[in-house]
Amino acid sequence: MTEITLHSPLDMHIHFRQDDMLKVVAPLSANHFAGGVIMPNLLPPVDNLDRLLWYTEEVRQACQPHAFDPYMTLFFRNYTFAELEAAKPHIIGIKLYPAGATTNSDGGVQEIMAMSAVFEAMQELDIPLLVHGETHGFVMDREAEFCEVYRALATKFPRLRITMEHITTEKAVGLLDEFENLRATVTPHHLILTLDDVAGGLLQPHLFCKPIAKRPEDREALLQAALRAHPKLMMGSDSAPHPRDKKECPGCAAGIFTAPILLPMLAELFERHGALANLQTFVSDTAQRLYRVTPPAKSVTLAKTTMTIPAQYGGVVPMWAGRELAWSVTSVQ
């Protein structure tokens, strides 16, 4: 196959940031995607209705003139039932960050199971819970340790739709088949990278992210689930831009910027494994079904024509800058 058309592709986990960065990165996603789940970890976080409505309008303006539905989220805190009820028409879910787990998450949750009243209200209102699932243990074990929290949440709140965000381990993949109310996103970079790519030779700051890339056996479990279009696994890029001076420095910021190259990168990966027929399901159909959304009609055609990844986009260095990809986007309608 030398050409493929994807219908209304969705990115179910994106960081658009704010201000000038928002204006740089939002159009790059809105060009190739029909919609996406927008993360709320701004400074200050998006944790009330007024700020949510403001940020929604900022995102919509930044995405023009592209047909793109932003699926907004609130930053998890101790919300009242009335606050959740008022926010529900404007959000796709609420994003829970363990305090200090990743960028701009210092105001996250200290004791997750102490938030039972909020989870009960979300379950009653049918508001999905999106979770950055890491403990504060040894960096390679943080997600595996957090799987016990997923077990507790899924068991105690069986009607709460819980998305395990950007899963990175074989153990998390196994939970998808264990609990009816668990689903997950996975990033393209976690389908490709292991820790060896990040730190096996010279440190590669533009491949450093949280959760960190894991072991080969973890990558293989993620890849096989994606290639076979597991019915509870969605593409969520976790595309996370930082200015170049925040990546190429001591104290390098965590985040991999992939937004402009996602679809060519995935076409190349799925073709290599003989699974191009499942790419539509992975990048759109499963998310539409699980989140009950109908995105704008958008057809994105890719051809087996090489593209060279630019050195940067508005001061943000993408993954694999300067490298060639075997596929490229040829038209968007």
Rg (CA), the chain: 18
**What own/partner pairs with CB < 8 Å and gap ≥ 24 does 42-50 have?**
42/17, 42/18, 42/104, 43/18, 43/104, 44/107, 45/75, 45/104, 45/107, 46/72, 46/73, 46/74, 46/75, 47/74, 47/75, 47/77, 47/107, 48/74, 48/83, 49/83, 49/86, 49/87, 49/90
Are 83 and 47 in contact by the 8 Å Cβ rule? The answer is no
Tallying the residues shown for the chain, one arrives at: 333
pLDDT at 131 (0 to 100):
98
Q: Phi and psi at residue 185, in whole multiples of 5°?
A: -110, 155
Q: Whole-angstrom Cα distance, residue 107 to residue 129?
A: 17
Q: Which residues contact 203 (CB under 8 A, 6 or more apart)?
A: 252
pLDDT at 104 (0 to 100):
80
pLDDT at 105 (0 to 100):
81
**Which amino acid is located at 93 in the chain?**
G
144: number of Cβ within 10 Å: 20
Strands (E), the chain: 3-7, 10-14, 35-38, 69-75, 93-96, 129-131, 162-164, 182-186, 233-235, 299-303, 307-308, 324-325, 328-332
Per-residue burial over 225-247, b if 16 or more Cβ lie within 10 Å, else e, is: bbbebbebbbbbbbbbbbbeeeb
For residue 106, pLDDT over 90 is answered with no
DSSP state of 36: E
Give the domain extent around 194: 3-332
For residue 1, pLDDT over 80 is answered with no
What is the sign of the dihedral through the CA atoms of 24, 27, 31 and 37?
positive
pLDDT at 36 (0 to 100):
98
pLDDT at 262 (0 to 100):
98
Domain count, the chain: 1
pLDDT at 108 (0 to 100):
87
* CATH code at position 296: 3.20.20.140
For residue 77, pLDDT over 80 is answered with yes
pLDDT at 107 (0 to 100):
86
Q: Whole-angstrom Cα distance, residue 116 to residue 215?
A: 34
105: number of Cβ within 10 Å: 20
pLDDT at 74 (0 to 100):
98
pLDDT at 303 (0 to 100):
98
Among residues 47, 69, 218, 238, the one annotated as catalytic is 238
The Cα angle at residue 281 between residues 190 and 27, in degrees rounded to 5: 70
pLDDT at 201 (0 to 100):
96
238 is catalytic: yes
pLDDT at 159 (0 to 100):
98
Share of the chain above pLDDT 90, in %: 96
Per-residue burial over 109-122, b if 16 or more Cβ lie within 10 Å, else e, is: beebeebeebbebb
More confident: 108 or 329: 329
| pLDDT tens digits, 281-321 | 999 999 999 999 999 999 999 999 999 999 999 999 999 99
Average model confidence (pLDDT) for the chain?
97
Edge-first strand order for the sheet with 299-303 is 3-7, 299-303, 328-332
Mean pLDDT of 32-51: 97
pLDDT at 101 (0 to 100):
81
Mean pLDDT of 29-34: 98
Are 115 and 78 in contact by the 8 Å Cβ rule? The answer is yes
Beta bridge partners of 329: 302
